[in-house]
Chains A and B, each alone.
Chain A
Amino acid sequence: MFHRQIDLGLAKPFGFGITTKLTLWTLIGAGLVLAFTLQYSEHFSSRIILGLVEKGATNLVKSASLQFDDRLQSVVKSTENLAYAVEFGNWNEVSILDLLESVVRENKDIYGATIAFEPHMFNSDIKAYAPYYYKSPKGVELVQLGNPEYDYLNKDWYVIPRRSNKPHWSAPYFDAGGGNIRMVTYSRPMFLRKSPSESLKIKGIVTADLSLDRLSLDVSDLFNGSSKYVFIISTDGVFLANPDSRLLFQESLQELALKRQSSVLEQLAQLMNTENSGFLDVGVELSGTDSYCAFHTIASTGWKMGALFAKSDLFRASDELRQALVIIAAIGVLLLMAVSYLVARSFSKPIKRLVHATKNIGAGNLEFQTLEINRKDEIGTLAVAFDAMQKSLKDYIQQLTKATAEKERIESELSIAASIQRSMLPPISPTLGERQDLDVCALMQPAREVGGDFYDFFFMDKDSVCLAIGDVSGKGVPAALFMSVTKYLVEATVSSEQKLDVALKQVNNLLLRNNESYMFVTIFLATLNLKTGLLTYSNCGHNPPLIINADTMAQPVGESTGPILGVLEDPKIWTETLQLDPNSILLTFTDGVTEAFNSSEDLFGDERLVNAVSNAKELSVSGIVSEVMRNLKNFCGDSPQTDDITMLALRYKPKNRP
């Protein structure tokens, strides 16, 4: 009977299991901590790195600009030497061409050079003489610039230094008819003098050209690939060098900013115009890749050299470090997950077994084998406790089964006993056949299965009935046994030939015999002559019945009572009589009625009974009995019934009223 299948709702655990939860929470927790740590370090290191990057880039540009300045100085030096040589030497056409050619050939930075004389200065016969050597693709070639198409005397590179008597770096220009490339030119005046201290009279202009295309390549080389975009702007902001050759000498940085409507470029142009060196985030402007620009002034010319440094290059190391950290963190988290998974599983596995065992026990399978989880931790303790619980449950269930069987046996016996007891008593509404002069109704409600109360009602002859009601001390089985004895003794001894007190004395004596348990019984015994309405009664310690007439309240029958039966050797019992009025009602009852308690431990009492009966006197006898019970139930409420309740009501209604 205990092997029922019970769905304990454990078959499918709600939500995730411990293993999944612990693993997930480890992942979330460790992930959050690592993400926060990485973010934090990123935040601080990026500022430090940016500072380092700025310093590094600025230093690179500075060093490159110094190197570049050295090369410009060597060009300037070569030009000056040439000028000195022409000023102080005696040169014929052949030797001066040799000198000029050797300067262009030997100096790798010089694209081309000329010695341009004032009109008629070299040879009074020749108005304009300006031999120009330059590095053509075929080799060093000579061009005479003193031709009318070129007209060097009106070129900026000639006019400006001649006027100022000072060396001059030209703006970038395309030298059509001369070098035929984009260039800048360093011009130095030559003077007519025998020593440097003599007064100045211009003899001519010596120049050296720098190829802008070549310049762009050269300055890039200075950075050894650390910058892919190196440029030089003149003091006017015009590009002298730029990897994008389209921009060379065509426009200034300022114009480019306007043309592209770029505030960043404008900012850069402004900065480069005013500052000697600087550093600026220029984004994707100029080079097309996200970059920083660092610049520095070339001291001798005032030009500015700028270089772009791609952020991806600058931050490559830190990006790689970050990637490495992320990978390490991810591996760490995965390892942590694996460990927590294993740990959680080592907990959840025995718990699952416990769940399985619990389900089995819940379903009543107490023979389920023991768990044998040999662990020294709390789970081990739980398993041991569980095994102990299983064993004691098993023992308990066995005892319970035994006790239940015992109880069921007793209950079944008691139920049989109750039915026997009921069958010993007359029916609660005896059918009186043809008789119209009498109504009878009884009620018996034991406090337990069987009770110690009894009632009886029988015809002694045609015209007289006997009625009895009794109450044995105590209740339950002992009272029931004593009650059945009493009931049959009364029935056997009462007869129309014998007075009631005599019969009761006989009953007393019989009960007294071997009454070692000191049980006793109270009895109200009466006979009613239906012809005369005379009630003859004896009361042995019983509650006096109530008599109810049409006009009055219910009244107790008899002043006092005789002694209880079953105790005294020779009890003093007497018989009294009462004339019943037609239609009057006699209600006999046991103390279960008047001594019923409510929850405040008040007794129902005689007064309530008298009132209930008096109010119900118009009803039938069964109506009166039900009304009393209804009052009693209302009074007691939920309080348990403590004593057997019995009532026997009789209405005398003779046909011919006397």
Chain B
Amino acid sequence: MEVILSVDERTAIAAIVGRVDTIAANDFEQKIEKTISSGVKKIIIDMEKMAYISSAGLRSVLILCKKAQASDVVLVWCCMNSIVRKIFDVSGFSKLVNVVGSLDEAKERDFDGKTI
């Protein structure tokens, strides 16, 4: 798994490439967590190239959401493929976190910050 970061003043875009499975989950969590504490206000997780997310990965999503909330950072999850979308749907994560279809929407929209 790889995390490709592009950061401007207020928004960071983290493109995830590959599988976020049990082994990669920790790495994924640490990298995004670093971005949370870097001072940006919004982090868009671009999941277009994320092939799969395991339940350990979902737990990382959960932890990241909690941390983002504590740091007053908005996390937006966008561009999921069908497999990942299904995992998010089935597990109910789609309803827990900010999920949008496109990167533009993720950039433009204001999120009031869902609470978990």
Contacts and interface: CB of A to CB of B under 8 A. Distances in A.
Interface in B64-116: 66, 83, 87, 89-93, 95-96, 116
A642 B21 contact: yes
Contacts of B49: none
B21 to A, nearest CB: 6
A563 B96 contact: yes
Contact of B55 (A472, A544, A561, A563): A472
Give the interface size class of chain B.
20 to 34
Nearest to B62: A518
A473 B90 contact: no
Contact of B83 (A471, A560, A603): A603
Contacts of B54: 591, 595, 642-643
Interface stretch (A91-99, A347-355, A535-543): A535-543
A522 interface: yes
Contacts of B93: 541, 564
Nearest to A447: B22
Given A520-B62, A564-B93, A567-B62, A591 B56 contact: no
B15 interface: no
Interface in B12-29: 19, 21-22, 25
A475 interface: yes
Contacts of B55: 452, 471-474, 522, 591, 643
Contacts, number: 72
Contact of A473 (B51, B52, B56, B66): B56
A542 B22 contact: no
B81 to A, nearest CB: 11
B56 A474 contact: yes
Contacts of A562: 92
A643 B83 CA distance: 16
A564 B66 contact: no
B56 A561 contact: no
Contacts of B25: 474
A568 B22 contact: no
B91 A564 contact: yes
A474 B89 contact: no
B90 to A, nearest CB: 6
Given A474-B22, A568-B116, A642-B22, A563 B56 contact: no
A285 B88 CA distance: 121
A456 to B, nearest CB: 19
Interface string B37-56: 00000000000000110111
Contacts of B7: none
B63 interface: yes
B56 A560 contact: no
A544 B62 CA distance: 22
Nearest to B56: A474
A367 interface: no
A106 interface: no
A585 to B, nearest CB: 21
B58 interface: yes
A518 B92 contact: no
Nearest to B64: A518
Given A522-B91, A541-B91, A475 B58 contact: no
Contacts of B62: 473, 518, 520, 567
A125 interface: no
A563 B87 CA distance: 12
B59 A520 contact: yes
Given A568-B96, A601-B51, A475 B56 contact: yes
Interface string A513-537: 0000011101000000000000000
A643 B54 CA distance: 8
Interface core residue of A472, A541, A560, A562 (most chain B CB under 10 Å):
A541
Given A642-B54, A643-B54, A474 B59 contact: yes
Interface in A441-484: 452, 471-475
A183 to B, nearest CB: 130
A468 B82 CA distance: 27
A541 B90 contact: yes
Contact of B22 (A471, A475, A544, A597): A475
Given A542-B90, A568-B116, A563 B51 contact: no
Nearest to A572: B95
Contacts of A520: 58-59, 62
A567 B96 contact: yes
A452 B59 CA distance: 13
B90 A543 contact: yes
Nearest to B63: A518
A541 B96 CA distance: 11
Contacts of A642: 21-22, 54
Contacts of B66: 518
Contacts of A522: 55, 90-91
A562 to B, nearest CB: 6
Contacts of A543: 90
A541 B55 CA distance: 11
Nearest to A562: B92
A568 B92 CA distance: 11
Contacts of B90: 522, 541-544, 561
Contact of A541 (B21, B22, B52, B92): B92
Given A603-B83, A642-B22, A563 B92 contact: yes
Nearest to A560: B89
A50 B110 CA distance: 120
B24 to A, nearest CB: 11
Given A642-B21, A642-B54, A540 B59 contact: no
Interface core residue of B19, B54, B59, B87 (most chain A CB under 10 Å):
B59
Contacts of A474: 22, 25, 55-56, 59
Contacts of A563: 92, 95-96
Contacts of A595: 52, 54, 87
Given A474-B22, A563-B95, 11 more contacts: A471-B55, A473-B59, A474-B55, A474-B56, A518-B66, A520-B59, A561-B90, A562-B92, A563-B96, A591-B54, A603-B52
Interface of A: 452, 471-475, 518-520, 522, 540-544, 560-564, 567-568, 591, 595, 597, 601, 603, 642-643
14 contacts: A473-B58, A474-B25, A475-B56, A518-B66, A520-B58, A522-B55, A540-B92, A541-B91, A567-B62, A591-B87, A595-B52, A595-B87, A597-B52, A642-B54
